[in-house]
Structures are given as structure tokens and as C-alpha cells.
Amino acid sequence: MLSKRIIPCLDVKDGRTVKGVNFVDLKDAGDPVELAWQYAQQGADELVFLDITATYERRKTMIEMVKSVARQLNIPFTIGGGITEIADAEALLNAGADKISINSAAVKNPQLIADLAEVFGRQFVVVAVDTKLVEGRNMVHLNGGRLITELETEKWIKQAEDLGAGEILLTSMDHDGTKQGFDCNLLQTISQMINIPVIASGGAGAIDHFTEVFTTTGVDAALAASVFHFGEIPIPVLKNELKKHNIPVRL
């Protein structure tokens, strides 16, 4: 059985790591390159960096950060934010990123998923989906959760897989930053529905939440931010606890 992955997520704004609750009230959480190095030392399996306010001007800043991170790390890392065309992805991959994550751009132009998969291989393409329950339906949101779409989450994820996504990063906006646990019902539904890896995101607040998501859903990885950034859950402690529950992890 493949090891379950633990993935710290670093939301980057103006070159700093930030963290909020339900996608708002952002607080500074440190230098992303320094945090990345610390997580690699602690045993993180991968890292995700999301440029949450990506613009053309900041793209150059992100490329320099990717180069700095690549020099520090010996684990895979994914970069997302502001990738709207092949050239954006190419620049980030050339700078040292292992995978790229697309969200709003994929919804606006689904063909981008297919194009990226064709050029780089589907294993490089992570489709991030921000979802929120609206009148009983899971709906896709864009622009850091600020814009609701007419897309139902389940349908969009299936379409993304069919187009060539290699992995789905699914964030529950209702759970994000609350530390009340992952949205296990939705994650189980999605992981049963598709044949590519699912990364659970949104809601981690205790070790039990990681145990629960791995034992009750078919997700391949769990992603969290503040519990790692602020030292609430040390990764070695988390992995040892998961191993006690017979969850395969890389120690």
C-alpha cells in the first residue's frame, strides 16, 4: 500500500507565508523558504506553495522564491497561483518546482488542463478545487473563495480528471481554518468517484483529524497550514501517531 502523504501548505502573499480562517483575516506566519526547509527536516512528504494574490508583477518574485526553495529541498513541491498558460508553468517548473497547481484558470479555460497534461505529463498537473456548501449543494468557488460559480464540485472534479488532471487538491471552505476536522463525507464521495489521488485540505486542528481522514476516506494525502506553521502539531509526532493506527506513512 502506498504511504499516505503529509503536506504542509504555505499560502504566500508578498513573499511571506500567511494564514487565515475561512479564507480571510490573514496573519503573517513566517518566511516561506525557511519554513520549507524546516518542514523537509521534520519529515514532510511534499510541500504546496500557493501565491494567493498572484498577479503578473509578482510572478517574478515567485520564480525567485521557487529557485530558493529548490536549493533547500529534497522533497517534491507544488506551486500554484496565477498560472494561466503553458509559459507560466514552464517558468516555474524550470525554476525547480515539481508540480503546478491550477484553480481559477482551469475553470475559466478547462482546455488548459489538457494542454498542461499533454506538454508536461498529467503527473505534473494538480487541479485545486475550493468548494463550499450552498443550499445543499457543493459549489466551486474561485479567486481565493471570493467568487461563486455555477459548477457543482463533483461534476467539475470528474471533468478535470477526464481532461488530464493528475491529482485533485480539494479544500472545503466551510472547514478551512476552523480546526474542526476535514470534510470527510465529501472527501469520501470524491475519492470513490475518481481514479486519481485526492489531497484533503481544510479543517485540520488535531492529530485525530488526520487519523480520521485517512481511516474513513480514500484520500492519498492530507494538507494543513496553521497547525504546522505555529507548531501545534509537529510532523514527526503526527506520523508516529498515524503509524500506531496502522496508517502507512514514511518515517
Q: pTM for the complete prediction?
A: 0.93
User: Is 30 a residue whose pLDDT tops 80?
Assistant: no
Strands (E), 188-240: 198-201, 221-224
State the pLDDT confidence band at 23, using cuts at 50, 70 and 90.
very low
Q: Which CATH number fits domain 5-244: 3.20.20.70, 3.40.50.880, 3.30.365.10, 3.40.30.10?
A: 3.20.20.70
Residue 241 pLDDT more than 80?
yes
Using an 8 Å Cβ cutoff, are 187 and 217 in contact? Answer: yes
Exactly one of 11, 45, 51, 183 is catalytic; name it: 11
Instruction: Dump pLDDT digits (tens) for 34-69.
Output: 889 999 999 999 999 988 776 555 566 688 899 999
How far apart are alpha carbons 81 and 62 in whole angstroms? 9
Q: Is 11 a catalytic residue?
A: yes
Q: Is pLDDT above 80 for 176?
A: yes
Q: Which of 45, 51, 130, 176 is an active site residue? A: 130
Whether 25 is catalytic: no
Domain boundaries defined on the chain: 5-244
Q: What would the pLDDT profile of 190-202 be if each residue is shown by its tens digit? A: 999 999 999 999 9
The half-sphere exposure of 39 on its side-chain side, counting CA atoms within 13 A, is: 33
